[in-house]
């Protein structure tokens, strides 16, 4: 490990970041990628010399560089990192380094963090830049800009983004699109000259968020190719972008998207960008593993004991009938469910989605004795209790909106367009914030509530603050949301919170710093969920994804799926049920209980293992699974998402196991989900179970085994258990 003033080598796991920090101008990332080992100072100096380019034809007379905050002062002609001005002045600052602090990792194994303080006295600005590389090789940085001028004119910040360079071999891009019920749809194309700009003005992370924007070598996949991914950890308006300039500089960047005049810094005031994360790996799985390890190492990380949950939404919707809900609790407990969640409809005049939103008082109409009879019953059955809130939202037809119309976010005296018949409450108004917090606290004080499903069902449109003359406040609203979550978490230790937003519309690393899981999507159709889970795990680990088994006919797609497919899909996340169990047959209930027992038996591995994703043998076949950190066991899924065109002549290969150790690989064939399959001979004769085969991890990867013949929309799970370690 080597550190030299102004050239800092950060090293974490198998990743290196080499920063060149000149006395003037922004730091540049000379390298972000595979480990450089422990280079000597001389070799670091040589590296930094070696990358200096000649001056191009018809170019400025110094080599053009791209700093962590790209700037025109360094002759960079692409997207600037900082835009802003003081009434048209100080728009192109040139920062000088004041101090550099290098902090070591907790175990002193090397530098983990560099904090650089800059100043431009002419512009009246100071800038603090932090760059960290954690022990899992995950990079993150952020910038804090402060107005240090005495000038009474504030400094208006229009943009402050950070950019990480990627090498010329990164020729392809992968990021995500999506919509309600169809979150995280991958899109892939060449990394061409220009800017691939993903802007979000929804005031929430968005179902169409770029999520993780990757650049990689041609044909990169789950396992192969060098891949660099960037994530903007912010739940309000934000950007991700990839840019290639004609001088061959390639960057991946991100930051907050600021609305006009949103940030105006008076003397002494600061603006902090969100954290911009960067994960490099060989293959997308390695990129994902770094994010997962980072989240799992957080002090507030959730454990693997995620309780099996029943959410009543698709079972009863707004029909809050006490006896029916108690009956549902009985049925859930009998199956082994451990947490019961009462969804929308328990408060105010909320008998449908036209009315009552924002009045967080238990409805006397539907709950004359309060929620006590239900909660007492749920607790007696040994289950935890969870409750739905949508704290930032109001129906115009609500007590709160009638009493305080000025509390609605709007840029003009007229309210913005309705969405799901609702408007957004302006949490930047202290009284509005206190009103919501106190109403929520009153409910949390009266009832033993273990879990909140925190929803946010519309975009922010024309989100101005009326008391501030309609000024845009998405930035402050986002901070107020974080503050409210933090305040409630501090006041109710142990309270868990799910981040839901019309399904998976608020999934990012900043919301996950303070919440315990996300609702992946309102679409619980397992075929769609196979795709959504494949890509949602690119950023977050399985234990953070709410993953439910719904009724046979999907409420959002109308497709029917057998229980085996629904359950074998759902067990790779935080398992729940969202189904009117009173309508399930005895056979279905028996099978459901088996799946719940399976999940409980294996959740340590399912929710803690290393994610494994394999492009299947055919466009309609896909493989995924989880492997224990010590490689002693794995649970693997073979999924037919349609009728394959080429099976059964090919071989099923699995990587991820120890190549030299022997494993017993067995299909797990409980429930009725596997009926109709034609097993290959290696499964053996089934008695209680199929005996399977003993094979090494290397053989399984390089030789493989024959797949079964299966139907479309069918999954078979395999367990691989090490029988003979190396």
Least Cβ distance, residue 576 to ligand GLA (angstroms) = 11
Query: Is residue 149 close enough to count as binding ligand GLA by CB under 6 A?
Result: no
Between the CA atoms of 34, 39, 44 and 45, what dihedral angle is there, to the nearest 10 degrees? -160
Measured from the CB atom, the residue of 367 and 454 that comes closer to ligand GLA is 454
C-alpha of 563 from chain center: 28
DSSP-derived pairing of the beta strands 339-342 and 309-311 = parallel
| Number of alpha carbons in the 13 Å side-chain half-sphere of residue 551 | 18
Pairing mode, if any, of strands 309-311 and 574-578? parallel
Q: What are phi and psi of 88, to 5 degrees?
A: 95, -5
User: Judged by CB, which is closer to ligand GLA: 504, or 644?
Assistant: 504
In the DSSP assignment, the letter for residue 222 is S
- Nearest to ligand GLA by Cβ — which residue? 344
Residue 3: C-alpha distances to residues 35, 107, 265 (Å): 15, 16, 35
Report 384-413 residues binding ligand GLA (CB under 6 A).
388
CB of 72 to ligand GLA, least distance (A): 44
CB of 718 to ligand GLA, least distance (A): 32
Instruction: Answer yes or no whether residue 696 interacts with ligand GLA by CB under 6 A.
Output: no
- Is residue 100 involved in binding ligand GLA (CB under 6 A)? no
For residues 53 to 92, the per-residue mask of contacts with ligand GLA, x marking binding by CB under 6 A and - elsewhere, is: ----------------------------------------
Tell me the backbone φ, ψ of residue 222, rounded to 5 degrees. Answer: -65, -35
Q: Which run of H or of E encompasses 296?
A: helix 284-296
Q: Give me the sign of the Cα torsion angle 711, 717, 723, 724.
A: positive
> Of 175, 174, 170, which Cα lies nearest the Cα of 216?
170
Q: Please check whether residue 509 is in contact with residue 462, taking contact to mean a CB–CB distance below 8 angstroms.
A: no
Q: Minimum Å distance from CB 500 to ligand GLA?
A: 5
Nearer to ligand GLA, 239 or 449 (CB): 449
Minimum CB distance to ligand GLA smaller for 277 or for 313:
313
Q: Could you tell me how many residues of this chain bind ligand GLA (CB under 6 A)?
A: 11
**d(C-alpha 344, C-alpha 423), whole Å:** 17
Site string for ligand GLA, 490-509 (x = CB under 6 A): ----------x-xx------
The residue among 208 and 343 lying less far from ligand GLA, judged by its C-beta, is 343
Cα 205 from Cα 184, distance rounded (Å): 12
d(CA 355, CA 55): 65
- Tell me if residue 252 falls in helix, strand or coil: strand
Candidates 128, 183, 343, 450: give the one binding ligand GLA (CB under 6 A). Answer: 343
Q: Which is nearer to ligand GLA, 363 or 457 (CB)?
A: 457
Asked if residue 522 binds ligand GLA (CB under 6 A), the reply is yes
Residue 2 exposed, middle or buried by CB count within 10 Å (0-12, 13-18, 19+): middle
Q: What are phi and psi of 466, to 5 degrees?
A: -60, -45
Does residue 243 touch ligand GLA according to CB under 6 A?
Answer: no
Positions annotated as catalytic residues are 455, 522
554 binds ligand GLA (CB under 6 A): no
Please list every residue from 456 through 475 that binds ligand GLA, using CB under 6 A.
Answer: 457
Helix, strand, or coil here: 232? Answer: strand
- Cα 49 to Cα 18: distance, rounded to the nearest angstrom: 13
Query: What is the distance between the alpha carbons of residues 157 and 83, in angstroms, rounded to a whole number?
Result: 6
Q: Which residue has the tokens 């049920």?
A: 577
C-beta of 147 vs 499, nearer to ligand GLA: 499
Q: How far apart are the first and last CA of the chain?
A: 32
User: Toward ligand GLA, which CB reaches closer, 91 or 180?
Assistant: 180
Parallel/antiparallel/unpaired status of strands 28-34 and 82-85 = unpaired
Q: Can you tell me which of 120, 344, 496, 591 binds ligand GLA, judged by CB under 6 A?
A: 344
One residue of 222, 313, 346, 433 binding ligand GLA per CB under 6 A: 313
Smallest separation, CB 578 to ligand GLA (Å): 8
Q: Closest distance between ligand GLA and the C-beta of residue 535, in Å?
A: 18
C-beta of 257 vs 337, nearer to ligand GLA: 337
At its nearest, how many Å lie between ligand GLA and the CB of residue 583?
A: 19
State the Cα angle at 623 between 285 and 620, rounded to 5°: 120
455 is an interface residue for ligand GLA by CB under 6 A: yes
Cβ of residue 418: shortest distance to ligand GLA, in angstroms?
A: 15
Site for ligand GLA contains 363 (CB under 6 A): no
Instruction: Catalog residues that contact ligand GLA under the rule CB under 6 A.
Output: 313, 343-344, 388, 455, 457, 500, 502-503, 519, 522
């Amino acid at each position: 490990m080597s550190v030299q003033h102004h050239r800092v080598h950060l090293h974490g796991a198998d990743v290196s970041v080499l920063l060149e920090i000149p006395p003037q101008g922004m730091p540049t990332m000379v390298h972000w990628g595979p480990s450089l080992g422990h280079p000597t100072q001389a070799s670091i100096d040589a590296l930094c010399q070696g990358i200096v380019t000649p001056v191009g034809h018809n170019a400025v007379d110094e080599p053009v560089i791209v700093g962590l905050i790209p700037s025109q002062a360094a002759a960079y002609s692409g997207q600037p990192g900082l835009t802003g001005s003081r009434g048209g002045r100080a728009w192109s600052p040139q920062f000088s380094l004041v101090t550099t602090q290098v902090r070591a990792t907790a175990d002193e194994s090397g530098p983990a963090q560099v904090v650089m303080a800059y100043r431009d006295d002419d512009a009246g600005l100071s800038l603090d830049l932090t760059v960290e590389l954690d022990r899992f090789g995950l990079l993150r940085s952020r910038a804090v800009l402060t107005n240090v001028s005495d000038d009474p004119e504030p400094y208006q910040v229009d943009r402050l983004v950070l950019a990480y360079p990627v090498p010329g071999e990164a020729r392809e891009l992968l990021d995500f699109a999506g919509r309600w019920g169809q979150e995280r749809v991958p899109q892939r194309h060449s990394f061409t000259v220009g800017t691939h700009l993903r802007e979000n003005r929804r005031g929430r992370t968005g179902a169409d968020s770029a999520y993780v924007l990757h650049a990689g070598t041609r044909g990169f996949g789950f396992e192969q190719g060098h891949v660099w991914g960037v994530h903007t950890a912010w739940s309000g308006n934000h950007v991700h972008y990839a840019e290639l300039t004609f001088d061959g500089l390639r960057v991946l960047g991100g930051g907050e998207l600021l609305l006009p005049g949103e940030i105006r810094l008076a003397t002494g005031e600061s603006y902090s960008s969100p954290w911009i994360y960067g994960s490099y790996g060989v293959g997308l799985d390695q990129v994902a593993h770094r994010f997962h390890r980072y989240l799992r190492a957080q002090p507030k990380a959730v454990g693997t004991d995620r309780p099996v949950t029943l959410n009543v939404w698709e079972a009863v919707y707004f029909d809050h009938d006490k006896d029916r809900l108690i009956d549902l609790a009985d049925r859930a407990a009998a199956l082994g469910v451990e947490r019961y969640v009462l969804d929308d409809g328990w408060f105010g005049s909320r008998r449908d989605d036209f009315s009552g939103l924002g009045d967080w008082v238990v409805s006397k109409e539907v709950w004359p004795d309060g929620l006590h009879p239900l909660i007492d019953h749920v607790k007696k059955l040994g289950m935890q209790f969870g409750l739905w809130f949508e704290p930032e939202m109001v129906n115009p037809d609500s007590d709160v909106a009638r009493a305080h119309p000025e509390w609605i976010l709007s840029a003009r005296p007229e309210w913005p367009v309705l969405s799901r018949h609702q408007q957004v409450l302006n949490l930047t108004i202290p009284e509005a914030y206190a009103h919501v917090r106190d109403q929520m606290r009153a409910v949390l004080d009266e009832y033993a509530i273990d879990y909140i499903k925190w929803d946010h069902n519309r975009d922010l449109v024309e989100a101005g603050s009326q008391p501030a003359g309609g000024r845009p406040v998405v930035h402050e609203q986002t901070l107020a949301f974080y503050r409210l979550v933090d305040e409630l978490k501090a006041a109710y230790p142990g309270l868990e919170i799910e981040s839901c937003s019309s399904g998976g519309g608020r999934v990012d690393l900043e919301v996950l710093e303070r919440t315990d899981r996300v609702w992946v999507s309102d679409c619980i159709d397992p075929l769609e969920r196979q795709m959504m889970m494949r890509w949602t795990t690119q950023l977050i680990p399985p234990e953070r994804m709410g993953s439910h088994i719904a009724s046979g006919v999907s409420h959002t797609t109308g497709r029917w799926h057998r229980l085996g497919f629904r359950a074998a899909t759902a067990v790779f996340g935080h398992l729940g049920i969202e189904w009117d169990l009173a309508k399930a047959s005895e056979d279905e209930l028996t099978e459901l209980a088996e799946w719940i027992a399976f999940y409980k038996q294996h959740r340590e591995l399912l929710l803690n293992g290393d994610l494994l994703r394999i492009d299947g043998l055919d466009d309609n076949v896909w493989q995924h699974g989880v492997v224990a950190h010590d490689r002693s066991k794995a649970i693997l899924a073979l999924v037919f998402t349609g009728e394959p065109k080429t099976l059964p002549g090919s071989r099923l290969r699995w990587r991820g196991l120890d190549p030299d150790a022997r494993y017993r690989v067995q299909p797990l064939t409980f429930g009725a989900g596997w009926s109709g399959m034609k097993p290959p001979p290696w499964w053996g004769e089934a008695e209680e179970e199929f005996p399977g085969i003993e094979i090494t991890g290397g053989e399984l990867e390089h030789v493989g085994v024959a797949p079964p013949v299966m139907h479309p929309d069918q999954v078979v799970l395999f367990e691989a258990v090490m029988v003979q370690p190396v």
